[in-house]
Amino acid sequence: ARRGGVPADADLPRPYEPLARALGPELGDSPVDALLYFGSAPAGMIAPLAARARRIVGMHPDRTEVQRARAALHSRGYSHCVLQQGGLRSLPHASASFDVALLDGALLDDPRPGTALREVGRVLRPGGRLLLIEDYDALDARCTADHPLSRVRDWLAEAGLACLRLRPIDLEGAH
């Protein structure tokens, strides 16, 4: 089931811990000040990343998913993690608020991903990093006219964001 265009945690068989470990090098050695997470699995992805940031804001469009994730994270003692309901195209945050933005499965079904990425770029601090997680096979199925990674580069360019690198990650036979 999809809620608000983003699948709920329980609907995803995604292995959160291995994915979070794979993202470790992208986050760097020392904790970041502020991380924005928007995506399909706020509790599942934020929990293994909690030690990597001083402040984490997790967002999801569905209020019930936000409440569930908030309860799960706070029951684990992650009081520096804030969960909010909201949409990717109108983030309720000041410009230059985050060092890292992590978008998890948030763009594939968006009819105008460049617009959403532009809004994410607004809340990133100068030198901030954007980490995108999308299912490569789903991208491949949708992007019949061009290579899936070319499509992602096009989205980033449309948003005015520089693409330093794209790195597919294989996890348990999926990438």
Q: Are strands 81-85 and 98-104 parallel, antiparallel or unpaired?
A: unpaired
CA neighbor of 169 nearest in space, from 20, 8, 3: 20
pLDDT at residue 63 above 80? Answer: yes
pLDDT at residue 149 above 50? Answer: yes
pLDDT grade for 25, boundaries at 50, 70 and 90: confident
- What percentage of the chain carries pLDDT values higher than 70? 88
Q: What is the dihedral of CA 14, 15, 16, 22, to 10 degrees?
A: -110
Q: What is the pTM of this model?
A: 0.86
Q: What is the dihedral of CA 31, 116, 82, 53, to 10 degrees?
A: 0
Residue 44 in 3-state DSSP? helix
Over residues 101-131, the pLDDT tens digits come to 999 988 888 889 999 999 999 999 999 999 9
